[in-house]
Amino acid sequence: MIIKAVLYLSKKRKLFLYFVQFLSAFSLIYPVVSLPTSKFILISQNYLSNHSLNDLLIKGMEKGIQGDYLKAIIDFTKVIRLSPYDIEAYYNRGIAYEKINYNISAIADFDKAIRLNSNMVDIYIARANVSYKLGHLREAITDLKTAKILCYQQKNKTCYQETLDMLDNFQTLKNL
């Protein structure tokens, strides 16, 4: 059994945590949480049976939310060393790397997370943003196109529209 949690930080800097329980560890179903991404920083995590890894991952996410990205990276790296297939650890470490402008490391972590699970829209969007920062507009557009398709397949209209808007902006920049 997997318990999926969504941590988000509101504009008032209050931390909220939601848990959604799933029936199968092999389920590809994600919880449907409709939150406007412009108002929240979303961080999601699968909680498996290893409580010490979960605690370490939560500590890393909390440090990231507090802006202590270097310590967050250390915690996520520890999780990865102990559980090298933890998609969320790679994703969250990639986000932390991006925050301190270690963009090549961020891309590497997003690449690994996508190799582990190619259906997580957030990873493609995060990698697109970093690719854009690095001046790799073509790669950013490719990731946003993939994210748009995934949003459509997952029937997430908000995600689809936001990704479409980002894609339009990036394509406009490409044509300038």
Q: Is residue 124 part of a domain?
A: yes
CB atoms inside a 10 Å sphere around CB 67: 8
pLDDT at 49: 55
Q: Which domain holds residue 148?
A: 118-176
Per-residue DSSP letter, 31: -
In this structure, what DSSP letter does residue 27 have? -
Domain annotation covers residue 153: yes
The pLDDT of residue 68 is: 97
Q: Is residue 122 part of a domain?
A: yes
Position 21 pLDDT exceeds 90: no
Q: What is the DSSP letter of 28?
A: -
Quick check: is 41 in a domain? no
Q: What is the pLDDT of residues 101-160, one digit of tens each?
A: 999 999 999 999 999 999 999 999 999 999 999 999 999 999 999 999 999 999 999 999
Q: What is the mean pLDDT of residues 167-175?
A: 85
Number of structural domains (the chain) is: 1
Give me the phi and psi of 133, to 5 degrees please.
-60, -35
Sequence-distant (≥ 6) Cβ neighbours of residue 142 within 8 angstroms: none
Q: In this structure, is residue 55 part of a structural domain?
A: no
Answer whether residue 139 is part of any domain. Answer: yes
- Given pLDDT bands bounded at 50, 70 and 90, which one contains residue 52? confident
Spatial CA neighbour of 35 closest among 140, 162, 136: 162
The pair of three-digit structure tokens given for residue 171, joined into one six-digit string: 């394509």
- Asked whether residue 128 is assigned to any structural domain, the reply reads yes
Residue type, 95: I
pLDDT at position 51: 82
User: If you average pLDDT over residues 57-72, what whole number do you get?
Assistant: 96
Q: What is the dihedral of CA 50, 56, 61, 66, to 10 degrees?
A: 160
User: Closest Cα to residue 48, out of 83, 9, 72?
Assistant: 83
CATH number of the domain encompassing residue 156: 1.20.58
Which tens digit of pLDDT belongs to each residue from 6-20?
444 333 333 333 332
Q: How far apart are CA 128 and CA 143, in angstroms?
A: 5
Q: Is the pLDDT of residue 35 over 90?
A: no
For the residues 42-65, what does the mean pLDDT come to? 76
What is the side-by-side strand order in the sheet with 41-47?
Answer: 15-21, 3-9, 41-47
20-34, 36-50, 70-84, 162-176: segment of lowest average pLDDT: 20-34
Residue 45 belongs to some domain of the structure: no
Give the rounded distance of the alpha carbon of 81 from its chain centre. 19
**0.75 cut: is pTM over it?**
no
For residue 172, the model assigns a pLDDT of: 86
Digit-coded pLDDT (tens) for 68-111: 999 999 999 999 999 999 999 999 999 999 999 999 999 999 99
Q: What is the pLDDT of residue 170?
A: 87
